[in-house]
Structure 1
């Protein structure tokens, strides 16, 4: 499209966002679904790409595709938008040196999620163990012989619990506040293999997938719930045996890859229907007044909204012009993603690999149309 772009990355290397996560992390979708634009994986690539292979692939991809990326670089708070020139006045710091640039557009492509959601818990100051968010979890080595309580019951929570249970920590308990949608990863993979089949060009698969409106897909998924309950009965029986409460969405999904067996066997214990009330010296005290001894408490409590997280960076005056971010609008389309955000020159790129791969072209065409004068810069 002839559009020049500078990508800035806070970490020292492309892919470090992945390298800095826990070693057992792997993508839960088959490789065809998480392929990058214009560069398919080799035939011997694993079905579920592990952490370091994702990181290294991203790094070489940036080089092979001649992307202009400044690492160790951060956008400084409160860029200003010049309404007359239709440009941003931006300051960035790269390896300690300040640069001033004036781009026509800023694309926030930091993911769908914002900063870690770290609830304030009474008693943190007297708790003798460790308390931290799951984003800081970097493997099970330090947990041998420890009593670990994991707060949350989503994908990250079960990944951590499974990691710890398989490597022999003293005791692992998952705390589930309400209910969770759990599907077998192998089952979901077979569905995605039909959507993104091997041997079909990615452009064809993406177009077919994009042609199914999200609103219609939601209705079809709701209609399919009885079938899904039946198809996952064996898995769900194991989870119920261990104390997990289940739903069919839309929030709190985990794709199971063995965690259900560990729960059914009692190697991962489950405490349901409570929240943390406070921490004591050596215990977690819950809202039902029950207690669990704990050496480490991991908060797998998710992340804040990306829009709210960016307030400190972009400022209230900018953020307040933008609409709700992500989720479906009244027409069944993604809100404020790959479309005008409400603030001229500001765009959000959110979602998974498919959305980034397909919708980035749609975003690029909108920017090109403004560059050519086919669309007014502030047209929503």
Structure 2
């Protein structure tokens, strides 16, 4: 059994092939393997994984062995990593999950690949964790690990006040008793930070900032969230009128507070904005709206920031947090190209981020060109068509398309779905495979989606729409994590394209420029145009940091998104390159999942457990 790298790209792999027969006692197989691992880890200086790991195996770790996200590939790399990190980390007391969906079981994952998988639990020197194991048989019929996942879930001595540990809530039980004031009196002082500085300043009150604030406060860290909008949730309310979430409800819960059972499957933007506002109140988050960061400077000697903020009433406040979490949207600043002749164009040109609603304009019969075929481009094109415009989408390269009513639900089968396992367990399972393995499995899943959606895809092809399933056929997974775009989750526009109601023009070499009433293409042709919408995407999140905080901060930060050499996302949810500065973003589900891990990293710094990462010096890497 082997995992093969293909095409010269370390993040495109070929999955192994395994015997087809299912074992009769998966629990015994998993327990025997886990016992062997524990024996090995008891003597880290002499770890020898040859008998329990395949040569081409994987280990993904989130904070259990290193205060960072790590992916190790091959038994040799894993062995070296464990020899260095197991001593201080002290993983021990391994226990299998013995009930529910993720107890030991045989899974025929794809044709030719089956494994025994199980969730398991363990302790570390500083806390407790949860993991996943996936075992396949070697040629000599020995069960060995193909993929192992370990994740720190809680720190000892500073556990979150959840369930039976919840706070009593009476005035007498609060610090200082009655003299400290009632709950509402304390909240007023807390929200204004009259008695202390926030340990963490979170910039942005969208799904990233709110999940982050909830996690930090649950872990006992004082946190202030600032946002430029008038109300929490305006980052969704102020987007284009017809927007709804493209992910289903069970996938998009917020930390600690799932949507009600009667919540719609796909959430309208204004409804989601109202939910965010309610969430901030229910979770007792300290949010200053109508507040902008004016300047920020970091003191390496003090290990703290000096941040000036301007509030809605014009007043200024200087804050001295030890951490800044940047939650302004993982896409950064709008990418707005300019073209020759654009100034003389007699129509309207604007970036997709400025789109609100075609119904506000008199567009009936107008020639509208939408440049770009991602989610926003499709939604904007559909909005213009529904208001009577003559719409053409300009497509430079192929786009991956998956439908919201079929493929999206197939993506979540067995995990985040109605009647499925608990969200917390689904989150662990969904993130437990290294991204290269996830992509390789997505190749097979994408083929299944395409078969289920073949009528839609064939209709697009007939209309001249270019489809692209990715260099390895991995579809939406690879497109999202490596490029942050290049796909469309279909909520109706594909049918309009197939029926010829929205036109498509393929222009591989792009745009040459503008005429007075036309868009000139590189192939020498042109398109008449009254309105041109540039749905051309966004720059790296670091561009927003540079714009707001300046070059001194941005130059010390790394670029964000896409995979690093190990196969983890660059800089997101993990050390950014700048001490005390963290990037945080993603869709609703990722913000729920990774807010825990980022909050744990910050808590570890503040409790002295992660001395090396106080200034994010990654001295503990192998």
Secondary structure of residue in 1 paired with 2:610 = coil
1:249-264 pair list within 5 angstroms: 249=470, 250=479, 251-264=485-498
Query: Which one of 280, 284, 289 corresponds to residue 71 of structure 1?
Result: 289
Residue aligning to 1:118? 336
Distance 1:287 1:76 in 2: 42
Distance 1:324 1:278 in 2: 31
Contact 1:30 1:193 in 2 (8 A): no
1:312 aligns with 2:531: no
Distance 1:113 1:227 in 2: 29
Secondary structure of residue in 2 paired with 1:173 = strand
Distance 2:567 2:415 in 1: 20
Distance 1:335 1:324 in 2: 7
Secondary structure of residue in 2 paired with 1:6 = strand
Q: CA deviation at 1:193?
A: 4.5
1:19 aligns with 2:19: no
Residue aligning to 1:267? 501
Residue aligning to 1:302? 537
Distance 2:225 2:341 in 1: 42
Contact 2:369 2:533 in 1 (8 A): yes
Single out whichever of 227-236 and 44-53 deviates more from structure 2: 227-236
Secondary structure of residue in 2 paired with 1:248 = coil
Q: CA deviation at 1:307?
A: 0.9
Secondary structure of residue in 2 paired with 1:238 = helix
1:89 aligns with 2:306: yes
Secondary structure of residue in 2 paired with 1:211 = coil
Secondary structure of residue in 1 paired with 2:249 = coil
Distance 1:167 1:195 in 2: 38
1:112-151 pair list within 5 angstroms: 112-141=330-359, 142=361, 143-151=363-371
Single out whichever of 138-147 and 299-308 deviates more from structure 2: 138-147
Distance 1:361 1:246 in 2: 36
Residue aligning to 1:325? 560
Single out whichever of 272-281 and 173-182 deviates more from structure 2: 272-281
1:13-52 pair list within 5 angstroms: 13-52=231-270
Contact 1:197 1:205 in 2 (8 A): no
Single out whichever of 292-301 and 201-210 deviates more from structure 2: 201-210
Distance 1:68 1:131 in 2: 39
Secondary structure of residue in 2 paired with 1:304 = coil
Distance 1:144 1:67 in 2: 45
Distance 2:393 2:265 in 1: 28
Q: CA deviation at 1:300?
A: 0.5
Residues 303 and 340 of structure 1: is their aligned pair in 2 closer, same or farther, counting only changes over 3 Å? same
Residues 115 and 261 of structure 1: is their aligned pair in 2 closer, same or farther, counting only changes over 3 Å? same
Secondary structure of residue in 2 paired with 1:75 = strand
Q: CA deviation at 1:145?
A: 2.5
Distance 1:198 1:230 in 2: 23
Residue aligning to 2:512? 277
**Structure 2 residue ranges without an equivalent (≥5):** 1-218, 471-478, 480-484
Residues 225 and 192 of structure 1: is their aligned pair in 2 closer, same or farther, counting only changes over 3 Å? closer
Query: Which one of 184, 189, 192 corresponds to residue 403 of structure 2?
Result: 184
**1:241-286 alpha-carbon deviations (Å, 9 max, x no partner):** 1111111133510011222221121110010024221111111111
Contact 1:153 1:180 in 2 (8 A): yes
Q: Which has the higher contact order (CA 8 A, sep 6+)?
A: 1
**Structure 1 residue ranges without an equivalent (≥5):** none
Distance 1:224 1:331 in 2: 24
Secondary structure of residue in 2 paired with 1:114 = coil
Secondary structure of residue in 2 paired with 1:76 = strand
CA radius of gyration, larger in: 2
Q: Aligned-pair RMSD on alpha carbons? A: 1.5
Distance 1:312 1:134 in 2: 20
**1:103-159 alpha-carbon deviations (Å, 9 max, x no partner):** 000000112111111101222221111100111111121122311110001111111
Distance 1:32 1:193 in 2: 11
Contact 1:326 1:350 in 2 (8 A): no
Contact 2:253 2:588 in 1 (8 A): yes
Single out whichever of 322-331 and 24-33 deviates more from structure 2: 322-331
Q: Tell me the number of residue pairs that the alignment of Structure 1 and Structure 2 aligns.
A: 378
**1:183-238 alpha-carbon deviations (Å, 9 max, x no partner):** 11222123225321224322121122122222210121134454444343221110
1:213 aligns with 2:434: yes
Residue aligning to 2:191? none
Residue aligning to 1:372? 607
Single out whichever of 239-248 and 326-335 deviates more from structure 2: 326-335
Contact 1:30 1:192 in 2 (8 A): no
Residue aligning to 1:62? 280
Single out whichever of 124-133 and 247-256 deviates more from structure 2: 247-256
Contact 1:215 1:333 in 2 (8 A): no
Query: Which one of 239, 244, 249 corresponds to residue 465 of structure 2?
Result: 244
Single out whichever of 49-58 and 317-326 deviates more from structure 2: 317-326
Contact 1:181 1:254 in 2 (8 A): yes
